[in-house]
Each structure stands twice: as C-alpha cells, then as structure tokens.
Amino acid sequence: MIPIERLIDALASLLENASYHVVLSATDNTAFTPRRLLAPDCLLPVLMRMAEETWKARAGQVSFGLAIEPDRNALCGQRLHAVHHAPLSLVILCTDQTLQSVADAQGLILLDTLERHANTLCAAPASQPMPV
C-alpha cells in the first residue's frame, strides 16, 4: 500500500517538474496549488481513477486497488483512502500519461477538459481492494 502523503508528495513533484497547471477555465486562470489539487478530497481520487484506467487499457484488467469512498464534502464527491495494489512508480507514470493527454503545449489543463476526459475514460466504477 502506498502511504497517501508519499503519493501526494510524488505527484506534486510530477506536477511541478513537468510544469502542469490545472486552472478553472479558459477565462479564469486561477491555478490550484499542487498540494491542494492532490488532496484526498479534491482531485486525487479522479486522477487515480484516470491513471488506473490508463493502465488497464494497456495491461488488461489489472487494477490499482483504489479505496475510494463517497464524501459529500469532497470537491468531486469522493475521497481517496488508499492505493493497495500498485507501485508508486507505475501510478506516477500513468498519471503523467493521463495529464499529457489533456494538457496543452504549455502544460495548462482546464478543469472542464479534465472532467470530460475523466468521464470518457472512467465509465466503470473504481476498483476496490478485496477484503482479506
């Protein structure tokens, strides 16, 4: 299992080093800070689902074992609690590939573009770890 703080640190580093900037819209270029964007109750569950689906498209039905639960106080209505079955390196690579597919040439990602891509990519429910 990947510790959530370790996951957030690694993804924040990816966003900063790759110069990705997630903004609200084309007319409102207010950017989210990487740490806020990657909070378990912000876009982290969405990004993990998108990364998981990116991996599944290439590797078949192998899942990350995401522990995502509904949270009506969360930005997207979901909160990520854990990633059980994937190494951090794979999660980072799949997240980067996902972000590359929605970023423009300057690394700008519009929130509505991200949402449209997420809706297309993630039609099925999130994987959940099997009870032990």
Instruction: Write the pLDDT tens digit of every residue in 21-59.
Output: 999 888 888 878 999 999 999 999 999 999 999 999 988
Assess if residue 86 is contained within a domain: yes
pLDDT of residue 31: 78
Assess if residue 95 is contained within a domain: yes
Q: Is the per-residue pLDDT at 4 higher than 70?
A: yes
Assess if residue 56 is contained within a domain: yes
Assess if residue 126 is contained within a domain: no
pLDDT in tens, 89-130: 999 999 999 999 999 999 999 988 998 998 888 875 555 555
Helices 4-17 and 44-59 cross at an angle (nearest 10°) of 80
The predicted model gives 65-72 an average pLDDT of 95
Could you tell me the residue range of the domain that residue 16 belongs to? 4-121
Question: What's the CA angle centered on 18, arms 15 and 19, to 5 degrees?
Answer: 75
**Reported pTM:** 0.88
The dihedral formed by the CA atoms of 61, 67, 37 and 87, expressed in degrees to the nearest 10: -60
Assess if residue 97 is contained within a domain: yes
Assess if residue 104 is contained within a domain: yes
Q: How many domains does the chain have?
A: 1
Helices (H), the chain: 4-17, 34-37, 44-59, 88-102, 111-121
Assess if residue 109 is contained within a domain: yes
